[in-house]
């Protein structure tokens, strides 16, 4: 049995996990006939998730095996008493294996032997097998074949010895046994220490050593959020599956572990007609369709990653929509360069200015002032922001307006209060239903208060930055739709739209390049 | 447990020359006269193939038992069900397990697994262990004793009727004396 190469997601049959939301994250469920590791600290829900997986199997008519290395059968019944789990189901077998001192057939001296937690000998009549991989396998063989197996937990097998390689090999043997001999889909749990850290970067001794052997890794942890502990889940790895990479919070209910929010990204009140596509497939998928028409988008950048490609693609899309454009150009782009980009990617700039399709507000006063619709609020006392916008509003006629505003360009001429007033004034006096705005800035160039003001007012917030490896990323930080919280890689290309954004996981791959 | 089963449930050590007809006759006598379809059979065998055992049963009894488990204590025997045999049909099941003769623990677990599987049915379980002489070629007398003591104890628990073959000419008297204490009964056949 070999793994399908990445991308061939259709090759893998899926087994429902017992959590509908987790199934959605995993594009259908756990990969059939494979082993997935669930790691987490005490009380994070590993055992519950495991039993939930088996209970779902029972509903499907599967035969299920639960192997505990930590709790006796009575303790398990106690643990699960608050859940709607049927532990007495005829297709469910509970068994326990435990390393404890006992006698073997071969040796006179007592040694570490394989027994059940209830004290049952693995051979019988007071004799047990040494606690070794091959005897654990032989012992488990009596339960084969089953459809689903939970081994809770692999940490309990570490009594096998201090030898890291021997332990790792033993786990590998079990993975093979469950997939080849049992033909089962398996879920292993691993205890993970919580090193006091309140973030999901825990070091994992045991699960570290086997996460490379399992087909996938799901991590559970607890985190302190503003004084209260919350539980979280994340799919760390799932070979051959285009899984969701975001963190979800978890809660327990009578059916087991529940992932919330269930519909993290699809509130439903937005329909595709409410969006204007940016023309960048991956970005549109990330945003849930594009920029919200009639809304406000904010793009925060770090001074290194450029928002220009998104800007020009949106301007192009606006022109296609029959919208007029108001542009407060980014300060870092010299006029000639910007004009060349607009000519290439949006349309003939002179023509658009002349036809009242483009209005340019030149706060820093760096553009030549010989053209209609290039406004310089600083130079002429009479051209305050309000009067400029009023002129634009007269000239745009029936065209909806797309405004692209570089906030830094306004800062030298307006203080924070003025900037806020202008924005409110615009919304009050200027904006029509389809008018759409995009603000962009580097938050490092302004006060936190002002940055927060724009963030609050925005319907959609994107952040883009370049990391220490020189890669540009884009993250959707606020949005009524799309893949909120998803971080995607950005790549620039030779051809239109000159930018590619890594397709969000599970987004419909039908019409998109994926990088 | 029926009265009849209680009476027949026991472990017998059969002392007979290894290749003799008397040994085989006694073997089948101790495997009882019940309808094969009403019994389960566990055979532990060191030097013969599963196929030969099945043929021999067919010659002497005709119909195969409801469930047969053969544990071949020999690395050369392949585990798993045999292909097209009369023993593995709709009415009867056959499972072949293997154990390494040097690994007494592994053999013990395999027998435990086999008995666990057979005890799920209501059928009377018959067991033939062939042989203690072969067992002693691989392990010392004390280990063999511990093993046989463990196994016969388990057989009592599942109410099985079992016999164990041993060739008296192959062992010192004191070895036989030591081992026979773990059995309920001893039968000498032949000479």
The pLDDT tens digits for A464-490 are: 999 988 899 999 999 888 888 888 899
Chain B: closest CA distance from residue A138 (Å): 7
Which residues of chain A have a CB within 8 Å of the CB of B105? 104-106, 123, 129-130, 135
Q: How confident is the model at residue A263 (pLDDT cuts 50, 70, 90)?
A: low
From chain A, the residues in CB contact with B116 under 8 A are 142
Task: Judge: B109–A126 Cβ closer than 8 Å, yes or no.
Answer: no
Residue of B109, B116, B151 lying closest to A135 (CB–CB): B109
Q: For position A97, what pLDDT does the model report?
A: 92
- Give the mutation candidate from B98, B105, B147 for the A interface (greatest A CB count, under 10 A): B105
Task: State the burial class of residue A86 (Cβ atoms within 10 Å of its Cβ: 0-12, 13-18, 19+).
Answer: middle
Give the mean model confidence (pLDDT) for residues A44-51: 95
pLDDT of residue B41: 95
Task: Provide the shortest C-alpha distance from residue A142 to chain B (in Å).
Answer: 5
**B150 with A105: Cβ contact below 8 A:** yes
pLDDT at A512: 38
Residue A94 has pLDDT above 90, yes or no: yes
Q: Which two tokens stand for residue B123?
A: 């059928």
What tens digit of pLDDT does each residue of A410-462 get?
888 888 888 888 888 888 888 888 899 999 999 999 999 999 999 998 999 99
What is the C-alpha separation between A36 and A196, in angstroms, rounded?
Answer: 26
Which has the minimum average pLDDT: A191-200, A279-288, A390-399? Answer: A191-200
List residues in chain B touching A: CB distance below 8 A. 104-106, 108-110, 112-113, 116-117, 143, 146-147, 149-151, 153-154
pLDDT tens by residue, B32-78: 888 898 999 999 999 888 899 999 999 999 899 999 999 999 866 55
The answer to whether the Cβ–Cβ distance between B104 and A129 falls below 8 Å is no
Q: Greater confidence, A515 or A77? A: A77
> What pLDDT does A463 receive?
96
Tens-place pLDDT, residues A486-505: 888 999 988 888 899 988 87
CA dihedral sign, ordered A307, A308, A309, A315: positive
Predicted local confidence at residue B3, as pLDDT: 42
At A199, the pLDDT band (50, 70, 90 cuts) reads: very low
The verdict on a CB contact (< 8 Å) between B116 and A130 is: no
Residue of A nearest to B106 (CA): A135
The DSSP-derived string for A462-493 is EEEEE-TTS-EEEEEEE-SSS-TT-EEEEEE-
Comparison of pLDDT for A162 and A472, the residue scoring more: A472
Task: Say yes or no to pLDDT of A184 above 90.
Answer: yes
- Locate the chain A residue with the closest alpha carbon to B105: A129
3-class DSSP assignment, residue B99: strand
Q: Which among A104, A106, A138 is the nearest to B110, CB-wise? A: A138
Q: Is the pLDDT of residue A265 over 70?
A: no
Asked whether residue A326 carries a pLDDT value surpassing 80, the answer given is yes
What pLDDT is stored for residue A382 in this prediction?
61
Q: How many CB pairs under 8 A join A and B?
A: 51
Q: A206-239 burial by CB neighbour count: b if 16+ within 10 A, else e?
A: bbebbbebbbbbbbbbbbeeeeeeebbbbbebbb
Region B19-35: mean pLDDT is 91
What pLDDT does residue A511 have?
A: 40
Chain B nearest-CA distance from A70, in A, is 22
Show residues of chain B in contact with A125, CB under 8 Å.
Answer: 149-150, 153-154
pLDDT category at B125 given cuts 50, 70, 90 is very high
Residues of A with CB under 8 A from a CB of B: 104-106, 122-127, 129-130, 134-135, 138-139, 141-142
Which pLDDT belongs to residue A513? 39
pLDDT given for residue A203 in this prediction: 40
pLDDT at A325 over 50: yes
Give the Cα separation of B113 and A141 in Å (integer): 8
pLDDT tens for each residue of B129-173: 999 999 999 999 999 999 999 999 999 988 999 999 999 999 999
Of A135, A141, A142, the CB nearest to B105: A135
pLDDT more than 90, % of chain B = 60
Q: Which residues in chain B are contacts of A123 at CB distance < 8 A?
A: 105, 108-109, 112, 150
Instruction: Name the pairing type of β-strands B39-45 and B67-73.
Output: parallel
pTM, to two decimals: 0.74
Q: For the ranges A229-233, A275-279, B118-122, which has the lowest average pLDDT? A: B118-122
- pLDDT of amino acid B89: 64
**Tokens standing for residue A472:** 């540009």
């Amino acid at each position: 049995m070999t793994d399908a190469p990445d991308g061939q997601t259709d090759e893998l049959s899926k087994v429902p996990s017992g959590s509908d939301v987790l199934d959605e994250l995993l594009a259908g469920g756990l990969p059939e006939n494979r082993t997935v590791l669930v790691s987490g600290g005490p009380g994070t829900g590993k055992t519950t998730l495991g039993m939930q997986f088996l209970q779902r199997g029972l509903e499907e008519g599967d035969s299920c095996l639960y192997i505990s290395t930590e709790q006796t059968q009575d303790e398990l019944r106690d643990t699960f008493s608050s859940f709607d789990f049927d532990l007495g189901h005829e297709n469910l077998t509970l068994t326990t294996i435990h390393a404890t001192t006992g006698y073997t057939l071969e040796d006179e001296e007592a040694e570490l032997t394989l027994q059940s937690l209830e004290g049952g000998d693995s051979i019988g009549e007071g004799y047990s097998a040494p606690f070794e991989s091959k005897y654990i396998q032989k012992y488990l063989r009596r339960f084969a074949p089953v459809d689903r197996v939970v081994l809770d937990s692999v940490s309990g097998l570490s009594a096998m010895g201090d030898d890291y390689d021997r332990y790792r090999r033993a786990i590998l043997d079990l993975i093979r046994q469950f997939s080849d001999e049992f033909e089962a889909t398996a879920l292993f749990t691993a205890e993970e220490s919580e090193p006091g850290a309140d973030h999901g970067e825990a070091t994992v001794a045991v699960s570290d050593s086997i996460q490379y052997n399992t087909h996938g890794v799901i991590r559970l942890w607890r985190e302190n959020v503003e004084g209260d502990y919350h539980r979280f889940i994340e799919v760390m790895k799932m070979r051959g599956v285009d899984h969701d990479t975001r963190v979800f919070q978890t809660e327990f209910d009578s059916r087991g572990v529940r992932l919330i929010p269930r519909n993290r990204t699809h509130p439903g009140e937005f329909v595709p007609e409410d969006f204007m596509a940016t023309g960048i497939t991956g970005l549109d998928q990330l945003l849930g369709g594009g920029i919200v028409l009639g809304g406000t988008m904010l793009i925060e950048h770090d001074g290194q990653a450029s928002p220009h490609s998104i800007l020009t693609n949106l301007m192009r899309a606006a022109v296609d929509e029959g919208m007029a454009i108001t542009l407060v150009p980014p300060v870092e782009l010299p006029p000639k360069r910007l004009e060349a980009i607009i000519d290439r990617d949006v349309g003939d700039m002179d023509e658009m200015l002349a036809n009242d399709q483009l209005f340019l507000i030149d706060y820093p006063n760096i553009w030549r002032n010989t053209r209609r619709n290039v406004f310089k609020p600083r130079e002429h006392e009479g051209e305050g922001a309000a009067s400029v916008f009023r002129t634009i509003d007269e000239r745009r006629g029936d065209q909806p307006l797309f405004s692209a505003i570089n906030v830094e360009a306004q800062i030298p001429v307006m203080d924070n209060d003025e900037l806020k007033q202008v924005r409110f004034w615009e919304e009050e006096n200027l904006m029509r239903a389809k008018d759409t705005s995009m603000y962009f800035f580097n938050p490092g160039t302004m006060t936190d208060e002002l940055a927060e003001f724009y963030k609050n007012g925005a319907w959609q917030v994107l952040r883009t930055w370049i990391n220490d490896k020189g890669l540009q990323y884009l993250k959707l930080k606020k949005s009524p739709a799309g893949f909120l919280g998803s971080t995607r890689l950005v790549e620039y290309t030779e051809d239109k739209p000159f930018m590619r954004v890594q397709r969000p996981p599970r987004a419909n791959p039908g019409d998109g390049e994926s990088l | 447990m029926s009265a009849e089963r209680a009476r027949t449930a026991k472990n017998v050590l059969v002392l007979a020359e290894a290749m003799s007809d008397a040994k085989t006759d006694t073997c089948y006598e101790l495997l009882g006269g019940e309808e094969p379809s009403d019994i389960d059979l566990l055979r532990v065998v060191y030097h013969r193939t599963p196929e030969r055992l099945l043929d021999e049963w067919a010659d002497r009894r005709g119909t195969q038992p409801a469930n047969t488990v053969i544990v071949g204590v020999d690395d050369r025997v392949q585990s798993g069900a045999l292909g097209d045999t009369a023993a593995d049909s709709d009415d009867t099941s056959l499972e072949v397990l293997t154990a390494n003769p040097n690994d007494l623990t592994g053999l013990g677990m395999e027998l435990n697994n086999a008995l666990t599987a057979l005890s799920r049915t209501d059928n009377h379980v018959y067991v033939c262990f062939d042989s203690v002489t072969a067992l002693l070629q691989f392990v010392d007398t004390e280990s063999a004793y511990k093993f046989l003591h463990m196994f016969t104890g388990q057989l009592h628990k599942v109410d099985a009727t079992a016999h164990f073959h041993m060739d008296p000419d192959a062992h010192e008297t004191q070895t036989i004396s030591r081992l026979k204490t773990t059995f309920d009964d001893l039968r000498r056949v032949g000479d």
